[in-house]
Amino acid sequence: MGPSPRPSTALGTNGSFGFFLKAFTILALLLPTPALADGLIDNINGVTLDKDGKIVRFSAIQITSDGKVSKLLDRKDKRPERPDFKVDGKGQTLMSGMIDSHGHVMAVGFQALVLDLSPAKSLAEAQKMIADYAAANPNRSWILGGGWNQESWGLGRFPTAADIDAVVKDRPVWMIRVDGHAGWANGKAMALAGVNAKTVSPMGGRIEKTGLLPNGVFVDAAAELVQKMVPEPQPRERDLALAKAQQILLSNGVTAVADMGTTLDDWQAFRRAGDNDALKLRIFAYAAGVDNMVKIAGPGPTPWLYDDKLRMGGVKLLSDGALGSRGAWLKQPYADAPRERGIGMLSDSQLSNLMSRAALDGFQVAVHAIGDQANLQLLNSIDELSGTYKGDRRWRVEHAQIVDPKDLPRFGEHGTIASMQPVHQTSDRTMAEARLGPARLAGAYAWQSMLKAGAKLAFGSDAPVESADPFAGIATAFTREDASGQPFGGWMPQERVSREQALAGFTIWGAYAAFAEDRIGSLMPGMRADFILIDTDPLMATPSEIRAIKVKETWVGGRPVFVRK
Amino acid sequence: MGPSPRPSTALGTNGSFGFFLKAFTILALLLPTPALADGLIDNINGVTLDKDGKIVRFSAIQITSDGKVSKLLDRKDKRPERPDFKVDGKGQTLMSGMIDSHGHVMAVGFQALVLDLSPAKSLAEAQKMIADYAAANPNRSWILGGGWNQESWGLGRFPTAADIDAVVKDRPVWMIRVDGHAGWANGKAMALAGVNAKTVSPMGGRIEKTGLLPNGVFVDAAAELVQKMVPEPQPRERDLALAKAQQILLSNGVTAVADMGTTLDDWQAFRRAGDNDALKLRIFAYAAGVDNMVKIAGPGPTPWLYDDKLRMGGVKLLSDGALGSRGAWLKQPYADAPRERGIGMLSDSQLSNLMSRAALDGFQVAVHAIGDQANLQLLNSIDELSGTYKGDRRWRVEHAQIVDPKDLPRFGEHGTIASMQPVHQTSDRTMAEARLGPARLAGAYAWQSMLKAGAKLAFGSDAPVESADPFAGIATAFTREDASGQPFGGWMPQERVSREQALAGFTIWGAYAAFAEDRIGSLMPGMRADFILIDTDPLMATPSEIRAIKVKETWVGGRPVFVRK
């Protein structure tokens, strides 16, 4: 258990001290280095990157009462004699908190709050999980969840509404299939949706029936018949989701996250947390489109709020879809679908106009671009706008997954940032090979090529699409092997980054990508004291040891915000 | 000019002090009364009400570095020797800042930002004003304004679009007539609205025409044809309007206002001001309906934000319309319209349900009720809900203008607050007599009867419907005479309140009405140092002297926020 540091005004005086000692103690506050008011964490294997990415090691860290690093101490350096608080690190590794440069904060929380049926090995197990969850959540008006797969149940059929009605019939239940392509409703949910024998399956969808009657499963487009009845979450539920998301991210060692696509409702939840001193995680909010940007931040980026915990500094736009669903916009047809090239969501001028609208008011622009055509379009827009919007703009390309090798050098122009998610590479590898064929993979997930081109790199998770665990990201980044070590030696190993670069991608480079490098990402003196305590040094350990890291404590702004029990 | 106090951490030390003096100075901070860090305003005619409404007089006020009153000093009391700052009040009257318990902050600002044509005595003068305003506001996409009256121009006709086109034709111009019942557009505005020879006058409206062509004036419902084209204000314009509103209110001596009907856009402007340290006025926000309440504050009232400058603690609902337009909901027909009883906006159960929705989550409920039937309906709802929602609820009746005398005693139940606007009484007097006839005025604007019934009273302005000047309200409250002293001796003089009660209505009672009596409304030690400096003591002066009061300085939280040049 980490101690709770005393309030920031505590001077450490008490009635037994003499007058002069008291006077001396207080005077110390006026000295340039207020050593006696700092907290100390000693006996640690401290490691951080300085702003140039050089490894700095230390064995103790001194923290000011307002939560900044005042000093890093070597083994031989004198410790302060009367620290405001003192923690024995017991030899653990202490390193900068992780920055996730691409996550979806509220979605992380909402996903964690609904029922996960993926562990169910039979219909009976799924039924019991639904019943237990409903009993444990008496105030939820809808019982929501997902992850079911009747194939693994040996059922030989889809489940039915009656299967759920047998355990929960007073409230609507709605469970999404593991692949996201079907939903399973109970009778109450179907009744609310007004689905009955007369309901026709919509184009692109199928209502499963027993005789003439819908029996509970709605495939593809038909799922919308029920989905549209699920009520929008109320503020109280949003607050719960945010609390859950913070807990998940902080327990994974993530102390700051770029929230990619903040809606007004998301923002209001962030602010409620901030107003009530319940915002522990740092959130760099990128508005979900220009409308949200204007509604939330108004005429320009917000200031840093709540001691640098929250800021809306930019906007997130979408240039194309994703590779799995063949929505990524490619220069040439899909290898496995020769008549498709994916979906470009915006014309060249639409994209430039939206980017311009944001840049005009000083917002940073982050654009989702996955396919090589989408990346080219975006690089063209960046090039075009850089003539008008001078200065330090840090245009962000989110994902930058499939890039034509001849376009790669352009990531080195105009201070462009490639915001990439290492774990996507291992998750998508086989699928990407199918979609593109082997000849077009040279610029796929090309982290090292990005660096060589002079691009700024930032790493993230895309949670909840992937796990929020940054150590999986780090291990992947320098191996390009998946959790089981496949493929041995790494997939396209020339695109691996070094361990130090992997760490930089989740720390100093992530801070830079959010205009936050003057406050977080490193533990050099003057920076916010955001750090984690772990029992493995990721610069020394094997990839599988790194993947096994469990964060023991997470501190933000010099205060413990997560302590593993 | 008032001095700018030093930052709150200044200790007043400098290099020339010796060690022991320094130590002593610093030690003083640890004492229970940090006398030396306070600011002092001396040589004043200080007057405030204590929490029981008793007048307290003082000749100096001591203010803590965090902007609270630490001490009120009599002429003979010892002054602190080394105050953090010191101001000579030059014998002026210093009193608590005024609390306006019913205003519309953003509307005050927007109204002040558009062109006021009411001073124009001829079409030529109006044209010149429009031309000058357009030239002075090159970035406004629409030139908006109001207050014109062709009757006073001796024109013998309505003005036309061509009259404006002669001075401004590049941008749309749209001017509302003084009575709000017609609008005057230029050619550009008509073109944007798509109004042409084929446009038919809508039901309840009339398009003025020259031959077949619309010529620029749109009467009643026809005005909407152009009005709907006026763009929603952008955040930058909202910020301008808020700055203007603050300037107007603070210069009138208003340091806190209950904003009656805060929309999400309003709230975002308030927050931007708060985030950027530009919120100087205290705003008690009452959401414009339950939807805004949930979107803005979420599951319950916000905390006090920005050092008690902003809080959303309640919701504003509407039970009826206004008297002038015969929208006020009466028990018996209008005297001057025997087939009308006004408009009840909500059924009994709708009103109770909305109030319940807010009260359930701990929000305070403020309901606009003008006619005697609306007031009765609301009193019934309060009575009904008080059984369920116990505790200190402070149900607010906004306006409470026309009350059946037999319902008056019910304002004394359940801690009900009558939030009334004295100046409405003088503005509406003749109209109220016409609408109701003399027999039904016994419970009209019945301030003293409210007090006698045991109701809590709070006074406001309804700005911008009336002037934001609280001294007009105070003078009216204890005279029931208008600015010209009519009617002599006061209209229904038995409903006058005392001077002290008038002052309480704009100070301590206003604070109570917003659950803020523990922080503002009085200058007793521990309260926020919100006060004004004026050259007239309103407890001694004649009504006309009070109406002539010009506030010299306004301080909020111990800092000057308005100083008259």
Angle between helices B470-479 and B422-436 (to 10 degrees): 60
For chain A, the first-to-last Cα distance in angstroms comes to 7
- B276, A234: Cβ pair inside 8 Å? no
Six token digits for residue A300? 């320009």
- B299, A30: Cβ pair inside 8 Å? no
Chain A hits for B268, CB-CB cut-off 8 Å, are 295-296, 298
- B238, A298: Cβ pair inside 8 Å? yes
Statement: residue B26 has pLDDT above 90: no
* pLDDT of B203: 85
Q: What percent of chain B has pLDDT over 90?
A: 84
Chain A: residue whose CA lies nearest to B21: A23
The stretch B196-211 carries a mean pLDDT of 91
Statement: residue B29 has pLDDT above 90: no
Minimal CA separation from B236 to chain A, in Å = 5
Cα A270 to chain centroid, rounded: 15
* pLDDT of B25: 36
What's the whole-number average pLDDT of chain A? Answer: 92
The stretch A491-510 carries a mean pLDDT of 98
Chain A hits for B264, CB-CB cut-off 8 Å, are 264, 295
Question: What band does B32 get if pLDDT is binned at 50, 70 and 90?
Answer: very low
- B298, A22: Cβ pair inside 8 Å? no
Question: What band does B3 get if pLDDT is binned at 50, 70 and 90?
Answer: very low
Statement: residue B285 has pLDDT above 80: yes
C-alpha torsion sign, points B12, B13, B14, B16: positive
Angle between helices B105-113 and B264-275 (to 10 degrees): 90
Strands B213-220 and B182-185: antiparallel
Give per-residue pLDDT as tens, B517-527: 999 999 999 99
Residue A471, H or E segment: helix A470-479
Statement: residue A178 has pLDDT above 90: no
Six token digits for residue A486? 């496949």
Give per-residue pLDDT as tens, B47-61: 999 999 999 999 999
Output the CA torsion A402→A406→A412→A417 (10° steps). -10
CA–CA dist A320, A59 (Å, integer): 47
Statement: residue A12 has pLDDT above 90: no
Mutation pick from B19, B21, B27 vs chain A, by most beta carbons of A within 10 Å, is: B27
Give per-residue pLDDT as tens, A403-424: 999 999 999 999 999 999 999 9
CA–CA dist B5, B7 (Å, integer): 7
Question: What band does B385 get if pLDDT is binned at 50, 70 and 90?
Answer: very high
- A26, B22: Cβ pair inside 8 Å? no
* pLDDT of B37: 67
Lowest mean pLDDT among A290-304, A365-379, A406-420, B323-337: B323-337
Residues of A in CB contact (< 8 Å) with B are: 13, 22-23, 26-27, 29-30, 234-236, 238-239, 264-265, 268-269, 271-272, 275-276, 294-299, 302-303, 305
CA–CA dist A398, B534 (Å, integer): 59
- A235, B275: Cβ pair inside 8 Å? no
Q: How many helices (H) and strands (E) does chain B have?
A: 17, 22
Which is more confidently placed, B182 or A338?
Answer: A338
Give per-residue pLDDT as tens, A338-361: 999 998 999 999 999 999 999 999
Statement: residue B34 has pLDDT above 70: no
Give per-residue pLDDT as tens, B406-444: 999 999 999 999 999 999 999 999 999 999 999 899 999
Give per-residue pLDDT as tens, A448-457: 999 999 999 9
- A298, B23: Cβ pair inside 8 Å? no
Nearest to B467 by CA among B117, B144, B129, B98: B98
* pLDDT of B524: 98
Statement: residue B28 has pLDDT above 60: no
Neighbours of B14 (CB within 10 A): 7
Chain B hits for A268, CB-CB cut-off 8 Å, are 295-296, 298
The stretch B155-169 carries a mean pLDDT of 95
Q: What is the DSSP string of B255-281?
A: EEEEEEEE-HHHHHHHHHHHHTT---S
Q: Is the ipTM, as predicted for this complex, more than 0.90?
A: no
What's the Cα-to-Cα distance from B468 to each of A125, B177, B240, B512, B517, rounded to whole Å? Answer: 67, 22, 18, 20, 22
- B268, A298: Cβ pair inside 8 Å? yes
Nearest to A27 among B26, B265, B275 (CB): B26
Six token digits for residue B171? 């941008």
What's the Cα-to-Cα distance from A301 to each of A258, A392, A521, B305, B309, rounded to whole Å? Answer: 15, 15, 21, 20, 22
Cβ atoms of B234 and A299 within 8 Å: the answer is: yes
- B27, A30: Cβ pair inside 8 Å? no
Chain B hits for A275, CB-CB cut-off 8 Å, are 302-303, 305
CA–CA dist A545, A534 (Å, integer): 12
Statement: residue A34 has pLDDT above 60: no
Minimal CA separation from B343 to chain A, in Å = 32
- A298, B22: Cβ pair inside 8 Å? no
Minimal CA separation from B24 to chain A, in Å = 8
Give per-residue pLDDT as tens, A270-324: 999 999 999 999 999 999 999 999 999 999 999 999 999 999 999 999 999 888 8
* pLDDT of A37: 67
Neighbours of B335 (CB within 10 A): 16
- A305, B235: Cβ pair inside 8 Å? no
* pLDDT of B15: 31
Six token digits for residue B358? 């807010």
Nearest to B268 among A23, A29, A295 (CB): A295
- B296, A23: Cβ pair inside 8 Å? no
Mutation pick from A271, A304, A357 vs chain B, by most beta carbons of B within 10 Å, is: A271
- A296, B238: Cβ pair inside 8 Å? no
CA atoms within 13 A of residue A62's CA, in its CB half-sphere: 21
Q: Which domains does chain A have, with CATH numbers?
A: 142-228 (3.10.310.70), 319-497 (3.20.20.140)
Q: What is the CA radius of gyration of chain B?
A: 26
Nearest to B299 among A236, A295, A302 (CB): A236
Statement: residue A4 has pLDDT above 80: no
Six token digits for residue B529? 């140092």
Query: What DSSP designation does A399 have?
Result: E
* pLDDT of A185: 98
- B234, A271: Cβ pair inside 8 Å? no
The conformational region for residue B531 under phi > 0 = left, psi -120 to 50 = alpha, else beta, is beta
CA–CA dist B70, B526 (Å, integer): 6
CA–CA dist B306, B41 (Å, integer): 24
Statement: residue B2 has pLDDT above 80: no
Statement: residue A531 has pLDDT above 70: yes
The stretch A231-248 carries a mean pLDDT of 95
Statement: residue B230 has pLDDT above 90: yes
Residues of B in CB contact (< 8 Å) with A are: 13, 22-23, 26-27, 30, 234-236, 238-239, 264-265, 268-269, 271-272, 275-276, 294-299, 302-303, 305
The stretch A139-145 carries a mean pLDDT of 92
Which is more confidently placed, B94 or B179?
Answer: B94
Chain B: residue whose CA lies nearest to A268: B296
Chain A: residue whose CA lies nearest to B265: A295
Chain B: residue whose CA lies nearest to A28: B23
Helix (H, G, I), strand (E, B) or coil at A421: coil
Six token digits for residue A305? 């709020």
Give per-residue pLDDT as tens, A217-228: 998 889 999 999
Chain A: residue whose CA lies nearest to B24: A23
Q: What is the DSSP string of B406-442?
A: GGGGGGGSTT-EEEE-HHHHHHHHHHHHHHH-GGG-T
Chain B hits for A8, CB-CB cut-off 8 Å, are none
